[in-house]
């Protein structure tokens, strides 16, 4: 699906985490197709179903569509957290009830920062975070988000801090495809 949609990219990218990488998966190019989004959502839901979640919580913007599709496949509510003053928070009237079983869902996870922040949002509202899931894990097998984590696929491209990036040293132009930049 990623290749078919032109979503598997090579170049010099600044990830949402701030790290640089020679490869990027632009999930939005796949998820713009409702049939692809539904298939990926159903596949992620297969992993999440074992935890019997009552709500899917996703960090906006990247996790919004896939979170909705996972929730549809599970037959539960879909809510999202978005940044306000640099911090993920529930807005738009979204509520989580104390003790509600929450599954946190992302499109691509690299460092786990947004997933951990979404987990904190759920817990701050009294939610019981039963697990986390993503379409793509690019953070590797040792990625830790402090709850049980499942993914459909793992990809491995090197990531670099700006100060250590060989792509920067070679003067390659950088693209910021995530979080509203670039592509």
Q: Dump pLDDT digits (tens) for 26-59.
A: 899 999 999 999 999 999 999 989 999 999 999 9
pLDDT band of residue 111 (cuts 50, 70, 90) is: confident
**CA separation for the pair 51, 34 (Å, rounded):** 25
Does 180 score more than 80 pLDDT?
A: no
**CA separation for the pair 30, 26 (Å, rounded):** 7
Q: What's the gap between Cα 61 and its chain centre?
A: 9
Domains contained in the chain, CATH given = 44-157 (3.40.50.2020)
Q: Which of 69, 92, 94, 93 is nearest to 79 (CA)?
A: 94
Query: Which pLDDT does position 178 carry in this prediction?
Result: 64
**Token pair 């990027």: residue:** 24
Complete DSSP assignment for 117-143: HHHHHHHHTT-EEEEEEEEEE-S-TT-
Q: Which two tokens stand for residue 140?
A: 């590797």
- With a threshold of 0.85, does the pTM exceed it? yes
pLDDT band of residue 16 (cuts 50, 70, 90) is: confident
Alpha helices by DSSP H, 49-127: 64-74, 113-124
């Amino acid at each position: 699906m990623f290749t078919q949609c032109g979503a598997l990219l090579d170049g010099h990218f600044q990830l949402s985490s701030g790290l640089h990488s020679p490869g990027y998966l632009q999930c939005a190019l796949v998820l713009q197709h409702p049939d692809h989004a539904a298939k990926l959502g159903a596949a992620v839901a297969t992993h999440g179903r074992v935890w019997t979640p009552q709500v899917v919580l996703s960090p906006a913007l990247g996790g919004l569509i896939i979170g909705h599709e996972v929730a549809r496949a599970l037959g539960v509510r879909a809510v999202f957290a978005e940044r306000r003053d640099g911090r993920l928070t529930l807005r738009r009237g979204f509520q989580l009830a104390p003790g509600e079983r929450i599954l946190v869902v992302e499109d691509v996870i690299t460092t786990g920062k947004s997933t951990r922040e979404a987990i904190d949002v759920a817990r701050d509202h009294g939610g019981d975070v039963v697990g986390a899931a993503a379409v793509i894990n690019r953070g590797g097998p040792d990625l830790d988000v402090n709850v049980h984590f499942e993914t459909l696929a793992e990809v491995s491209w090197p990531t670099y801090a700006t100060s250590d990036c060989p792509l920067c040293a070679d003067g390659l132009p950088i693209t910021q495809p995530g979080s509203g930049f670039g592509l």
